Amino acid sequence: MGQARSSTSPQVILMGLDSAGKSTLLARLLTGQVMDTSPTIGFNVGTLDLDKKTSLTVWDVGGQKNMRPNWRYYIDECKALVFVVDSSDPARLPEAQKALKKVLADEKLRGIPLMVLANKKDLPNSMTIREVQRPALPTNNLTSSTADANNDAQRNNPRLNELKEKIQQMEMLPPVLLTILFPLSQISKQLDLPSYTNRLWEIQACSALKGLGLQQAFMSVNKLIKKS
């Protein structure tokens, strides 16, 4: 896949179950093209240029079950973890949840920001998700259950609907407002993302095959790194 060009670029680790589309995603990011890929044995690595001054070194680590114990060897210099799930295969989300929980339990990843990418959104049977959903940082007075409890009332509130439309047009969605306005998605809940109150996290939809949402997602990753 290529070699990292600069050791000063933040290290981003791309993980997920096998067949989630990680290698296709990385190849599309680096080359702009769809490439034939095979199950990753070991890793792929490349440097992603976000702009003239900013780059990320992205490591794609094999996700087959017998290789997941080796994930811990790739996280020493990790500045952000990108976890890819196949949004067209809900049956494997419990397995993905366990794999994510296990790797995040490593002390080396304490406080490291997390980006979850719901890949394969181009497929008709993919699960529902907001393209951008940013939970609030740890607080004592607002939780995800607040959003769920108020959801029905919000649907019928024209002022909140108008506010939501305005917020969606903003480049960065405020965490607290987004938590109030949007209930957690099905994927977020099944991955138990709201439980990760000790780190910044986001979840976005993408299609590695069509190249949709990839550049935006890694721009968000870079912003998470700067905030952490």
The CATH number that applies at residue 45 is 3.40.50.300
Residue 156 predicted with pLDDT over 90: no
Q: Are residues 58 and 117 in the same domain?
A: yes
Provide the pLDDT for residue 137.
Answer: 45
- Predicted structure pTM score: 0.72
Q: Are residues 128 and 212 in the same domain?
A: yes
Q: Are residues 69 and 17 in the same domain?
A: yes
Q: Are residues 53 and 90 in the same domain?
A: yes
Within a domain: 4: no
Q: Are residues 153 and 193 in the same domain?
A: no
Which residue type, as a one-letter code, is found at position 199? Answer: R
Domain that holds residue 207: 11-135+184-227
Q: Are residues 55 and 154 in the same domain?
A: no
Q: What is the pLDDT of the chain when averaged over all its residues?
A: 77
Q: Are residues 64 and 102 in the same domain?
A: yes
Q: Are residues 70 and 146 in the same domain?
A: no
Catalytic (active-site) positions: 64
Provide the pLDDT for residue 174.
Answer: 43
Provide the pLDDT for residue 135.
Answer: 43
- Give every strand in the sheet of 78-86, ordered side by side: 43-49, 55-61, 11-16, 78-86, 114-119, 201-205, 132-133
Provide the pLDDT for residue 44.
Answer: 87
Tokens of 158: 């024209």
**Nearest Cα to Cα of residue 182 among 138, 131, 116:** 131
Phi, psi of 163 (to 5 degrees): -65, -40
Total tally of structural domains belonging to the chain: 2
Provide the pLDDT for residue 183.
Answer: 34
Q: Are residues 19 and 58 in the same domain?
A: yes
pLDDT band at 111 (very low <50, low <70, confident <90, very high): very high
Which residue type, as a one-letter code, is found at position 201? Answer: W
Q: Are residues 205 and 106 in the same domain?
A: yes
Highest mean pLDDT among 108-112, 174-178, 202-206, 211-215: 108-112
Higher pLDDT, 37 or 224: 224
Which residues contact residue 57 at a Cβ distance below 8 angstroms, ignoring those fewer than 6 apart?
A: 4, 6, 7, 9, 10, 11, 12, 45, 46, 47, 48
Share of the chain above pLDDT 90, in %: 46
**Nearest Cα to Cα of residue 12 among 101, 98, 109:** 109
Q: Are residues 143 and 124 in the same domain?
A: no
Provide the pLDDT for residue 178.
Answer: 37
Domain boundary residue among 163, 182, 201?
A: 182
Within a domain: 105: yes
Within a domain: 82: yes
Provide the pLDDT for residue 149.
Answer: 47
Q: Are residues 16 and 82 in the same domain?
A: yes
Phi, psi of 97 (to 5 degrees): -60, -45
Within a domain: 217: yes
pLDDT band at 7 (very low <50, low <70, confident <90, very high): low
Within a domain: 2: no
